Chains A and B, each alone.
Chain A
Amino acid sequence: MTEAAARWLAAYGLAPARPVPCRIELLVEAARVHRLTGVLARAVAEGAVPVTVEQRRLIGDLAAAGARRSVGIEAALAATMERLSTRGLTPVVLKGAAVAHLDHRDPADREFLDVDLLVRAEEVPAVLAALGEHGYTRNLPERRPGFDARFGKDITVQRGSDLEFDLHVRPAFGAFGQRVPPELLFEFVEPFSLAGVPMSALDAPGRLVHACYNAVLADPRPKPQSLRDVAVMVTSGRVPVEELRARARRWGGEAVVAAAVARAWREFDLPVDTAVPAWATSFRPRRSDRLLLRTYPSQGGTFAACLLGGTAGVPGLRAKAAYVAGFARPSREYREERRRLARVNEYREGARQVFAAVTRRQHG
Chain B
Amino acid sequence: MTDAPAGEPAGRFRRTPRRAERLLPDRAVVQLVDRPAVLELEGTAFCLWLALDGEPTLAEIVADLAAAFGSEPSEVEADVAGVLDSMVGAGFVECR
Chain A positions near chain B (C-beta within 8 angstroms): 38, 41-42, 44-45, 56, 60, 63-64, 67-68, 70-72, 74-75, 78-79, 82, 106-108, 194-197
Complex interface: chain A residues within 8 A of B18 (CB): 78, 195-197
CA distance A68 to B27 in the complex (A): 12
Residue of B nearest to A82 (CB): B33
A41 and B24 in contact (CB under 8 A), knowing A64-B29, A71-B30, A78-B33? yes
In this assembly, does B23 line the interface, its C-beta being within 8 Å of a C-beta of chain A?
A: yes
Given A78-B33, A79-B34, A197-B33: A71 in contact with B21 (beta carbons within 8 A): yes
Determine if B25 and A75 form an interchain contact, defined as CB atoms under 8 angstroms apart. Answer: no
Given the complex, which residues of B lie within 8 Å of A41, measured CB to CB? Answer: 24-26
B33: chain A residues at CB < 8 Å are: 75, 78-79, 82, 195-197
CB < 8 Å neighbour of B17 from A67, A79, A106, A195: A195
Contact status B24-A196, CB under 8 Å: no
Interface assignment of B79: CB less than 8 Å from any CB of chain A: no
1/0 per residue B11-55: CB within 8 Å of A?
000001111111111110111111010101000000000000000
Bin the interface of chain B by size. Answer: 20 to 34
CB pair B25 A67 closer than 8 Å: no
The answer to whether B23 touches A108, judged by C-beta atoms less than 8 angstroms apart, is yes
Please, which residues of chain B bring their CB within 8 A of the CB of A108? 22-24
| A71-B29 contact in complex given A64-B40, A195-B17, A195-B19, C-beta closer than 8 Å | yes
The SS class assigned to the A binding surface is helix
A48 to chain B, nearest CB (A): 12
Residues of chain A contacted by B36 (CB below 8 angstroms): 72
| A contact residues around B27 at 8 Å (CB) | 60, 64
List 10 interface pairs A-B (beta carbons < 8 Å), by A numbering: A60-B25, A64-B24, A67-B24, A68-B31, A68-B38, A68-B40, A72-B36, A75-B32, A107-B22, A196-B33
Nearest 9 interchain pairs by C-beta: A196-B17, A45-B25, A74-B20, A67-B22, A71-B20, A67-B29, A71-B31, A196-B18, A108-B22
A38 to B16, CA, bound (A): 24
Q: How far is the CA of A130 from the CA of B61 in the complex (A)?
A: 43
Residues of B within 8 A of A60 (CB): 24-27
**CA gap between A75 and B32 in the complex, in Å:** 6
Cβ of A44: which chain B residues have Cβ within 8 Å of it?
25
Return chain A residues, CB-CB under 8 Å to B26.
Answer: 41, 45, 56, 60
List 8 additional contacts besides A67-B22, A82-B33; criterion CB under 8 Å: A63-B24, A70-B22, A71-B21, A71-B29, A108-B22, A195-B18, A196-B19, A196-B33
**Chain A neighbourhood of B17, CB < 8 A:** 195-196
Closest beta carbon of chain A to B39's beta carbon, Å: 9
Q: How far is the CA of A192 from the CA of B32 in the complex (A)?
A: 18
Interface centre among B17, B19, B20, B25, by most A CB within 10 Å? B20
- Chain A residue nearest in CB terms to B29: A67
Q: Which residues of B contact A78 (CB under 8 A)?
A: 18, 20, 33
Q: How far is the CA of A83 from the CA of B89 in the complex (A)?
A: 25
Residues of A within 8 A of B32 (CB): 75
Nearest CB on B from A105, distance (A): 12
Separation of A60 and B33 alpha carbons in the complex (Å):
24
Please give the distance in Å from A307's CB to the nearest CB on chain B: 36
